[in-house]
Chain A
Amino acid sequence: MGQTFDWFSERGINLVRSDSDREYAGHIKGIKNVQLIFLSASEIPRELSSGRLHFGVTGNDVIQEKLVHFNQLAKPISELGFGFADLIIAVPSFWVDVETLDDFDAVSAQFRDKHGYRLRIATKYHRLLREFLMKAGVADYQIVDSQGATEGAVKNGLAEAIADITSTGDTLKANHLKILSDGLILKSQATLFKSLVADFSQEENQVANSLLKKLRAKN
C-alpha cells in the first residue's frame, strides 16, 4: 500500500488515509469527489468488472485469473513498477529428469500409470494454469485448490507440483522446488486498471480525466 501511495505522490496525486487506521477508506488531497477504498487485491477484479469501482490497483495476475475476457472489462492504465511476480510451474528439485513441459507431460503419463491417479498440481490460479497446460498439450494432471502457503503443498503430501507466483525464488528453494524452464505462465506487477463497465457521470469523467492527465504528465 505504501508503494502505491508513493507512486501516486510522485505524480502529484496525494492519497490520504482516513484518520482512523482501522477504517479502510481515504481521499485524495486537494481533489474532491474521489473516494479511496482499501480492498484485498483479489477482490478488486470483481469490483472493477461489476462497475462498482472506477479505478483499481491490483496485480494483472489476479485480473487475468478472475476475469474472463478481462480486456473487455478492465483496461490497464499504467504499470506501477513494483509487486513483480511471475506465475510459474514448479516441481521438486530432486526430479532431475524434469526440466521442461515436455518432461512434465511425460512424467504425468508415467505417474498416472504407476499411481492410478492423475498427478496433482496445487494452485489458486485454476483458470490460467488450465489454459496454459491445454495450449501446451499437457494431459493427465489434476488441479488441487490451494489458497495459501502453496509452496508447502508438495512437502505436505497434498500435491506433486505447484503453480504459484514467485518473485525471488527463495521460498521455492526453501521448499525444495525448482521452476520448469518453459513453465512461465505470466509476468505480473501492480497495475492501475480502469473499469470499462462502470458508469462515469459528467462530473466523474472530469475528475477521472484530470487524474489521468497528471499520470500522463509524469510518464
Chain B
Amino acid sequence: MTDLKDLSREAKRLAVVFEATGAEVVELDFLQISNVLLDLYGEDIRGRAFITNDPVYGEMMLRPDFTIPIVEQHMTNSLSPARYTYCGKVFRRQEEFPDRPREFLQVGYEIFDGANPEKADAEVFSLVNEALNGIPVRIATGDIGILMAAVRSLSTTETRKKALLRHIWRPHRFKTLLNQFSGLSSKPQPNQDLEDYNKLIDKFQTIGSRNIQEIKERLQQIKLESETDTIDPDEVKILDDILSLKDTCTVALSYLEKVSKKMPGIEKTLDNFAKRLEFLENNGISVDVLDFEGSYGRTSMEYYDGFVFGFYSETHTDLAPVATGGRYDALTERMGQGKKIPAVGAVLRPDLTLLLRENNRD
C-alpha cells in the first residue's frame, strides 16, 4: 500500500519541475459539465468517466483529465501566451482493467504559445524527462502532423482525404477506407441507378431527422466515389512506409526527407521535425538514440495532431504509461470557436513514478 505522505511528496517533487518555469498553477472543479467532453471524445468517454446528474446542469462528469477544461478556460479567458501547471486527482472507470485505480493523481504542464512551437515541444519533453530522472524508462515519440500532411498530399478527392483524416486515430477503419480508395478491397458500389433508388425511397415512410435530401446527396456521393480513380499504389506505399517506420529520430528524419522527394506535401512538417530535434539536442536530449514511430499516438491520444510522446516503465511493461504528451493545435481551434493558438502539453502519474522509484531502489 502506497504511503499517502510518500505519494504527495512524489507529486510535489514532479510539480516543482514545472512550477520552476513560472507557469501559472491551475485548480479545477472536480465536476465538469459533460457536453464539452462528449463533443470531443464522443460516446467512448462514457465508458471511461464517472457520470452523474445535476438537476440544473444535467449530465456532469468527475473530471477524467485536466487538459480539456484548461484549454476551454484558456480559450474563453485569454488568447495571450501562457504556461499552466496542475497537480490533482482525475477519475476513471476501469471496465477493461478492473485492477487499475479509479482515482489517481496527475501532474501536468501545458504551453499555449505560437511563437516557436518546436521550441515549446522540446521544452515540454525535456521537462518531463527531467522530472523522471532516475527512473528506468523506454521513450516513444512520433508526429501525427507528418501523417496528416501525407494524407492531405494524396492526389485524390477532398472527400476521401476528409474521410481518412477523420479516422486517423482509428487505425482499423483508416486501413479499411484506404483499401477501398486504393482498390485493394471492394468499395461501396451503387447496385442500382439513382432513378431506381429514388423509387425505392418512395416505398417507405420517412421517419426521423435525416431527410430525403441528405440521402440523395449521399447516393450522389457514392456514385461519384465509384467513378473516381483509385489512389496511386505508389502513394499508398509511401503512406504505409510512414506508418510502419520505426527507428531513431535521426535516421527516421533522413529517411522521411528522402520520402518527401516523392511527396513534397510533407516537407514543411519535416522542417518542423528537424527544428524540434535541434531544440531537443540543445536541451541535452540525445536524439540519435531517441525512438521514433510513424504510427505512435494513433490509438490512445485522440486530440494530438503533431509531436507526440510517451514514457513507459522498462521493468513493468504491463503498467499504464508513466507520462504522455503532445501537441494539440486543432483542439484549441475547435474549442475556441474560430480563435486558435498552438499548444502542447504533458501529463505524469506520480503514483507510478513513486512505485518505479521504490522498485528501482530495492
Please list the residues of chain A having a beta carbon within 8 angstroms of any beta carbon in chain B: 68-69, 92-97, 100, 102-103, 105-107, 109-111, 114-115, 118-119, 126-127, 130-131, 133-134, 136-143, 154-155, 157, 159-161, 176
Complex interface residues of chain B between 193 and 250 (CB less than 8 A to chain A): 197, 200-201, 203-210, 212, 214-215, 217-219, 222
CA distance A22 to B176 in the complex (A): 56
CA distance A36 to B346 in the complex (A): 56
In the complex, the answer to whether A97 meets B163 with C-beta atoms within 8 Å is: no
Contact of B46 among A94, A103, A110, A130 (CB under 8 A): A130
Report whether over half of chain A's contact residues are helix, strand or loop; otherwise say mixed: mixed
Closest to B191 in A: A99
- A102-B176, A118-B39, A130-B44 known; 10 new pairs, CB 8 Å cut-off, are A69-B98, A94-B206, A94-B212, A96-B215, A109-B166, A114-B214, A127-B47, A141-B42, A141-B43, A143-B43
State the Cβ distance, A141 to closest chain B Cβ, in Å.
Answer: 6
Report whether over half of chain B's contact residues are helix, strand or loop; otherwise say mixed: helix
- Identify the stretch in B12-20, B82-90, B100-108, B167-175 within 8 Å (CB) of chain A at 4 or more residues: B167-175
Which of chain A's residues have a CB closer than 8 A to the CB of B172? 137
Is B284's CB within 8 Å of the partner chain A? no
Is B338's CB within 8 Å of the partner chain A? no
- 12 A–B contacts, CB within 8 A, in A order: A93-B205, A94-B205, A96-B200, A96-B219, A97-B222, A102-B188, A109-B166, A127-B95, A134-B47, A157-B208, A160-B209, A176-B204
Contact of B208 among A114, A142, A159 (CB under 8 A): A159
Is B38's CB within 8 Å of the partner chain A? yes
Contact of B209 among A126, A137, A157 (CB under 8 A): A157
Interface Cβ pair total, 8 Å cutoff = 96
Please list the residues of chain B having a beta carbon within 8 angstroms of any beta carbon in chain A: 38-39, 42-44, 46-47, 95, 98, 163, 166-167, 170, 172-173, 176, 188, 197, 200-201, 203-210, 212, 214-215, 217-219, 222
Q: What are the 3 tightest A-B residue pairs by CB atom distance, in nearest-first order?
A: A137-B173, A94-B204, A137-B170
State the Cβ distance, A124 to closest chain B Cβ, in Å.
Answer: 14
State the Cβ distance, A99 to closest chain B Cβ, in Å.
Answer: 8
Which of chain B's residues have a CB closer than 8 A to the CB of A154? 207-208
Q: Which of B163, B201, B205, B207 has the most C-beta atoms of chain A within 10 angstroms of its own C-beta?
A: B207
State the Cβ distance, A129 to closest chain B Cβ, in Å.
Answer: 9
Known: A111-B214, A127-B47, A160-B209. A105 touches B173 (CB 8 A): yes
Which of chain B's residues have a CB closer than 8 A to the CB of A136? 173
Which of chain B's residues have a CB closer than 8 A to the CB of A95? 210, 215
